[in-house]
Structure 1
């Protein structure tokens, strides 16, 4: 575990795999930390430099006063990669992480040679929806949203397992100000126009039982990028890397091989 001091924010990150390998950067969803990808990593091929981080207000990163703008989250990712001297990475973003991926690719194409837009969209929900969730969380804490969130995040089968408690606990233990700040960032983001101007290898991944970003919404965003590919993971919800890590890893590995990122 390491901490990058970027001035206004300190980001917790970790680097696994080959320190000289092809870089793959993972950005996680609202209400989770970098452990989101733990089950996925053992299924990935060797030779990759795997970088994960907690976005501002989450995990072990610092919690600046909110609300946050998506531009600040994109700038955090940009500065972290500059801090680590990373160029030409494949950026894997899930949910809000996928929004960060889109914004980063638009801003700094020198940093991103390919992106995976997982369970995400150019625009997620409406300002009214997010205003309601923010109000509920302010009144009752993240706990007030937890049960409904678990239903959107996970398939019925997964919700019947004891593992559900792990993810519910992770959600409710995130800093409230960070959760609210990032919720505001999602609320204020509409990337349809900038994302439609992107020209880089892109893979979209959706879960068939995702109640937060349904497959058609993910597909609509992915198809904004010419030449992109879309894959559906069945029997999985909003976090398919948790429910189906082997299937998720197979799709990611095939994409990395297709664009020549494994042999770099």
Structure 2
């Protein structure tokens, strides 16, 4: 199905019934990535899961994104059209920052935030990774499998690559990325380098860091949790920037804990026993 917003057509996939959860992918990735592991975990637990393609990727069409606010307004349009009321938001990387921006712009539409691999400043390591993605995806020649594997390995935990057969499977997956990179994906990576939320959302928030994430190291996620204030901070071991694919059971458990806690009055606390 699609949601129309001006000249932009936003593709949205849905599954399940119950409390609405909107899940937002990172730069260059369509919403269907969540279908591999997260949707099968959430739907049986009684959640209606909505997977928008952020403008410029997947089935969405129209002008490419020029900033974070524009992407956030797209998500607002999806929530208003498909939900008609507040929803929980789960996002990773750029998708997490879009979710954060939605909560700042329209707090009436957000019951809670679960932010994976999120940061609040353009750190050198994440910026150079985004630039490398653009360079590799827009070069004059199709990148080799080995070049894609070398760049993609930066988003994986060393434990995911410890077994040669598993590593080859990951490299095969990374080599499936479209080339040349669509203009909409390029635009998203540029937004990821330049535009950041400012302000603390009022809703319950869980920040999830991936312990082996070289693209968005846990220290950057911790900065977000500290800036928000009463955010819960969690870490997934043996996971890189693609932790939701590398350690889906652990990530799903944290997402489900976050969703279940939205119906309680328990305060958010740090996983080390409380905020310092």
Q: TM-score, normalised by structure 1?
A: 0.86
The superposition leaves residues 190-221 of structure 1 with CA deviations (integer Å, 9 ceiling, x where unpaired) of: 32xx23x3222000111111111111101111
Residues 40 and 242 of structure 1 are in contact (CA less than 8 Å); yes or no, is this contact kept in structure 2? Answer: no
Counterpart secondary structure, 1:163:
helix
Are the equivalent residues in 1 in contact too, given 2:149–2:175 (CA < 8 A)? no
Q: CA shift at 1:170, angstroms?
A: 4.7
How far apart are 1:48 and its partner, in Å? 0.7
Residue aligned with 1:42, SS:
helix
C-alpha distance in 2 between matches for 1:153 and 1:70 = 22
> Displacement, 1:239?
1.8
1:52-101: per-residue Cα shift (whole Å, max 9, x none)? 1111111122252x462112111111111111134221100100001101
Distance 1:151 1:59 in 2: 23
Q: Which residue of 1 aligns with 2:267?
A: none
Match of 1:183? 189
Larger Rg: 2
Structure 1 residue corresponding to 2:21, chosen from 21, 24, 40: 24
Distance 1:183 1:11, change over 3 A: same
The number of aligned residues is 254
- The yes-or-no answer on 1:164 pairing with 2:161 is no
Q: Match of 2:120?
A: 122
Q: Structure 1 residues 128-137 or 205-214, which shifts more?
A: 128-137
Q: State the distance in 2 between where 1:68 and 1:86 align.
A: 26
Contact 1:32/1:170 (<8 A) preserved: no
**Are the structure 2 counterparts of residues 73 and 149 from structure 1 closer, same or farther at C-alpha, using a change threshold of 3 Å?**
farther
Structure 1: how far apart are the matches of 2:173 and 2:234?
Answer: 24
Partner-residue secondary structure (3-state), 2:249: helix
User: What does residue 268 of structure 2 align with?
Assistant: none
Query: Which residue is equivalent to 2:273?
Result: none
Spell out, residue by residue over 1:106-163, the C-alpha distance to the aligned partner (whole angstroms, 9 max, x if none).
Answer: 1000111100110111224359745665455433478487334312211223244243
1:79-94 mapped onto 2 (5 Å cutoff) = 79-94=77-92
Question: Which structure exhibits the higher relative contact order, with contacts defined as CA atoms closer than 8 Å and separated by 6 or more residues?
Answer: 1
Task: Say whether the 8 Å CA contact 2:134–2:181 is kept in structure 1.
Answer: no
> Could you say which residue in structure 2 is the equivalent of 1:139?
139
Stretch of structure 1 that moved more, 126-135 or 163-172:
126-135
Structure 1, unpaired ranges of 5+: none
Does residue 199 of structure 1 match 2:238? no
**Which of 89, 105, 108 does residue 107 from structure 1 map onto?**
105
